[in-house]
């Protein structure tokens, strides 16, 4: 009997074949993403309300102001067009919303909106002077809170951040849902008076608050000078009208420096200077951040008892009509350093050692 022939049985095909130990490389893989080194581009533009300040800030930063076409049509409408690409840029728009206030504010809103539609990455409204800041509450029935309205308009236009100086009330920052950098010129003013009154002993100097609302500001200013502190009380029978009622504190035989955030018509300020002399002050100075100088302000200051009135350039002034006793300091270095820190994601309060929130 012949042996059965061997039958070869094929191995079944495995249902889950083993993958090779090494995956073959693809010479030209198609990626689903793209990596790019983080790039940031600072661009600075200025509206027409205070171009001189914009130029000073740009010079401090070592850049040129961006080119933008701004026109006002015969019917009063404002036109804006950026003459260079702003796509992806970190934009800073400098605009002091000074007189004509409504025109300057509307121009800022249009510039912000144009930048937003042009795909700027971040838009910061640099507003050295914040308009309608004194209308921050309802003092009587059926009144608006206009400073809150302005904040809503700036946000609606597309701003990502606001940079401003010496708000009439620090609480205005709470009107915004976006970050607000609140700068102050008080250290700048203090350094100026340290030079002017360098030969005078600090105990012979008294810093005077223009009203009770400025007491905190004046107290901080007096600490910077190592001087005393006093307060002028006044009443407001109606809007833009104030009457000095009393001087609280020792000012006799002292050099007085009246400090406020705003000088408008200067009527109340001049009345306060007269009251200080009547109470025995030997000399009177004044200082403020915002030189609104409306109505007869320049004439009032020219005829006043103040030896020197120091303001800043947050609002452009009339160099021709400016009295000899009015001195203007520039806040461009403060704003430029703040812009630089915001752009570089550095601390802003560090510029003031945290003191910018104390006013």
Catalytic residue set: 234
Sheet bearing 308-312, strands edge to edge:
241-248, 228-238, 205-209, 255-263, 283-291, 308-312, 326-329
Residue 238 DSSP one-character state: E
Judged by phi (left if over 0) then psi (alpha if -120 to 50, else beta), residue 337 lies in: alpha
Residue 95 DSSP one-character state: -
Query: What are 37's two structure tokens?
Result: 């080194």
Judged by phi (left if over 0) then psi (alpha if -120 to 50, else beta), residue 318 lies in: beta
Helices (H), 118-232: 146-157, 186-196, 215-225
Query: What are 324's two structure tokens?
Result: 């000899």
In this structure, are residues 316 and 330 in contact, taking their beta carbons and an 8 Å threshold?
no
Which residues touch 245 (CB under 8 Å, ≥6 apart)?
233, 234, 235
Packing angle between helix 101-117 and helix 146-157, nearest 10 degrees? 30
- Gap between the Cα atoms of 87 and 121, Å rounded: 7
Burial class (CB in 10 A: 0-12, 13-18, 19+), 277: middle
């Amino acid at each position: 009997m012949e042996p059965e022939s061997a039958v070869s049985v094929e191995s079944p095909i495995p249902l889950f074949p083993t993958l090779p130990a090494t995956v073959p490389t693809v010479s030209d893989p198609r990626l689903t993403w793209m990596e790019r080194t983080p790039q940031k581009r600072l661009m600075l533009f200025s509206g027409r309300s205070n171009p001189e300040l914009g130029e000073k800030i740009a010079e401090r930063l070592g850049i040129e102001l961006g080119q933008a076409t701004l026109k006002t049509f015969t019917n009063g409408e404002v036109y804006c067009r950026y003459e260079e690409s702003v796509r992806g840029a970190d934009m800073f728009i400098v605009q002091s919303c000074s007189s004509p206030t409504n025109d300057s504010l509307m121009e800022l809103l249009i510039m912000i909106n144009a930048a937003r539609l042009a795909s700027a990455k971040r838009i910061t409204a640099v507003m050295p002077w914040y308009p309608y800041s004194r209308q921050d509450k309802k003092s009587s029935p059926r009144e608006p809170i206009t400073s809150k309205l302005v904040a809503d308009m700036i946000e609606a236009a597309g701003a990502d951040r606001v940079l401003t100086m010496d708000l009439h009330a620090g609480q205005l920052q709470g009107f915004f849902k976006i970050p607000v950098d609140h700068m102050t010129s008080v250290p700048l003013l203090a350094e100026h008076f340290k030079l002017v009154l360098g030969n005078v002993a600090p105990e012979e100097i008294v810093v005077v608050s223009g009203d009770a609302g400025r007491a905190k500001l004046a107290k901080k200013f007096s600490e910077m000078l190592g001087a005393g502190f006093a307060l002028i009380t006044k009443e407001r029978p109606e809007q833009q009208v104030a009457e000095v009622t009393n001087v609280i504190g020792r000012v006799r035989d002292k050099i007085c420096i009246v400090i406020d955030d705003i000088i408008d018509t200067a009527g109340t300020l001049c009345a306060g200077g007269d009251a200080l002399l009547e109470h025995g002050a030997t000399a009177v100075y004044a200082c403020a951040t915002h030189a609104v100088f409306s109505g007869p302000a320049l004439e009032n200051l020219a005829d006043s008892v103040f030896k020197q009135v120091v303001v800043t350039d947050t609002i452009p002034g009339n160099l021709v009509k400016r009295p000899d006793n009015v001195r203007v300091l520039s806040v461009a270095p403060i704003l430029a350093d703040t812009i630089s820190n915001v752009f570089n994601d550095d601390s802003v309060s560090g510029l003031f050692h945290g003191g910018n929130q104390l006013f």
